[in-house]
Amino acid sequence: MPIGRCLRIVRTTRLFGFQHQKTHYLPVNDCSKSRHKLQLSVLQRRAAGTMATASGINQLLLKLDNLTLDSISEKYPVTHPDINPYDLYRVHVSEVLAPITGVAADKIHPVIQWTNALDKGDFVLPIPALRIKGAKPDALGAEWAAKFPKDDPLFDKPVSQGPFLSFFAKGAPLTQSLIPMIRKLGAEYGQNRFLGLKDPKDPSKGKKRIVVEFSSPNIAKPFHAGHLRSTIIGSFLANLYEGAGWDVVRINYLGDWGKQYGLLALAYERYGDEEALKKDPIDHLFRLYVRINAEKEDDLATIEAKKKEGQDVAELLANSLDEQARRYFRKMTDRDDEALALWKRFRDLSIVRYRATYARLNIKFDEYSGESQVTEEAMEKVAKEMAEKGITKEDQGAVLVDFTELIPGKEGKRLGKTVIRKRDGTALYLTRDIAELLGRYGKYGFDHMIYVVASQQDLHLQQLFKIIELLGYKDIAQRCQHINFGLVLGMSTRKGTVKFLDDILRDCADHMHEVMRKNEAKYAQVEDPEGTADTLGISSVMTQDMSGKRGNNYTFDLAVMTSFEGDTGPYLQYAHTRLSSIKRRADVTDEELANADLSLLTEPHAVNVVRLLAQWPDVAQNTLRTLEPTTVVTYLFRLTHVISSSYDHLQVVGSEPALKAARMALYDASRIVVGNCMRLLGLSPLERM
């Protein structure tokens, strides 16, 4: 069709805030009919017209005659070069290796790995993974390295290292494409929202939904270390899935029901202080509970002593605090208005205080649920269904599940037996959890649900999921996952052994404030020293918690975690504030940064920073597989160390204008990536400190 007889239409789409233009030529006579019938490209269909390609990747595509975004999307549907440049690099090297190796490119592509050490290359091909028969991997590696094109636009000659083939990206193309991409994508760099789509080829089908249950403290009890870990890890996972495009529902399942609340009500009737309750409900209720619980134990000890003496203790037992608490809780379960009103007040005031504490940690919840929200009717329905399906049985008046009879072999023995209802008819936690899980699925229709609960509850969660499966809801059970974690050892506060979260954070903030005061000149420049100290203290706690694998125990060490030496939260904040400081002092405009001559960034230190910045999207995506905060933390420390080691070699202030702009663009991209990593972890990046 002659171009002269066509109307040129430029369709502009937006991907993560950047424009991408695609030109279509239509016959003049057909314009009115066809204007609404233009076919979207593969990438545009996935993006549903809401996202656009960063211009940096186009620079790379110009160097590759045989690849376009559409052709890549068709052949490699799980790749997204427009938001992850290394996806393009993997595709390119696969296509180049295919004729050299005789292995199809789509077979090579999933085998290529990224590395954790820059001296090992940017990518490595483990040759044995290709399963080529009759040839030694070492010999193949040497042969393929020799045949790799010398003038490849993206890679230097690969290095054969035994059964591995290592690939090193050329600095100039990567630098000139990546820095503009990062600066344009900004907070979106590293996020791949396609991953959360139910159908990446048809965004109109919507997002996948995940429910994350985490934190879950007990009202009127200290926010102990286990709840702290659940809070930090759960919030991180929610952020992670949100960045991957999932519809995330954050649930705080409070421990807010049970006989202990009957005991607490009795304590409040005797010793309650209205002003203390309003000022700090959690602290006041806890102190009341400790006091009444001690009295209850003394009461029971006295009754037991009289019983041993042969006295009739029936009346004493009937009027004991323990029995009074039981009767009060029975009033609650019977929906007594007065009893429920007091309990609801305790709960509501506690949630108000929790919200304030969570806000300090940048944590929010979509729902404050709890044991109290599971109705007796829902539990009765579940109990009836389990009985009808032969899952439960009665044993001396109690109702239990005997997995050893229901499931053959080691699995049944491992799950053992568990009581569902006690002899007095009281439903235990497992009954509530079964009803809550099924009710939650009915409410949210989730694609996945994560319980962030300590490893001590491993068996409980395994039993829960297995009962859901035995009930005939295998599909729902398979959507559920338990993310566990180890213990925090040695935690204490200056107030004693009561481990309230506010006490922990206050101690850390006070310590950081003392450290800040030692540098009077810098301290004077900080607008809000108390707020900055609080942020540093929170960063200390959270970074220490996430530095190791979550399944491991760790020792809470205030001196170590608040230090600016070593891999700590304060060090990460220092790294970000230094990058922010360079930008302030350089006095380079955004226009100058956008037009910087990035070809000037030839120093090895500059190229190494760029190589690590390019890894961030891969690290974020890999974290979705590991579900380990330390995957991000480890990368972040590697990145900040490489950035720190570059400062002496890449001076910004004082350099000639063109070089200054180029180096500032590099450090601006670095600031963006460091900030993105920190925010994913739940940290608030500081600009000054």
User: Which are the catalytic amino acids?
Assistant: 221, 224, 227
With the CA atoms of 77, 82, 85 and 86 taken in that order, what torsion angle do they form, in degrees rounded to the nearest 10? -10
Find, among 608, 634, 617, 633, the residue nearest to 174 by Cα: 608
Q: How many Cβ atoms from other residues are within 10 Å of residue 309's Cβ?
A: 7
Contacts for 243 with CB less than 8 Å, ≥ 6 apart? 190, 191, 192, 193, 620, 680
Asked if 53 and 26 touch (Cβ cutoff 8 Å), the reply is no
Distance CA 84, CA 4 (A): 38
Helix axes 259-271, 281-308, angle to 10 degrees: 100
DSSP string, 125-154: EEGGGG--TTS-HHHHHHHHHHHS-TT-SS
Cα dihedral 631, 617, 183, 655 sign: positive
Which CA distances in Å does 51 have to 54, 61, 82? 10, 19, 10
Strand partners, 449: 211, 480
Alpha carbon 584 to chain centroid, angstroms? 31
Rg of the chain on CA atoms, in Å: 30
Token pair listed for 61:
């595509």
Q: Helices (DSSP H) in 483-556: which residue ranges?
A: 501-517, 520-525, 529-547
685's CB contacts (< 8 A; 6+ apart) are: 573, 576, 674, 675, 678, 679
- Token couple for 654: 């004082």
Residue 639 CB neighbour total at 10 angstroms: 21
How far is C-alpha 286 from the chain's CA centre? 31
Q: Could you tell me if 98 and 104 are in contact, meaning their C-beta atoms sit under 8 angstroms apart?
A: yes
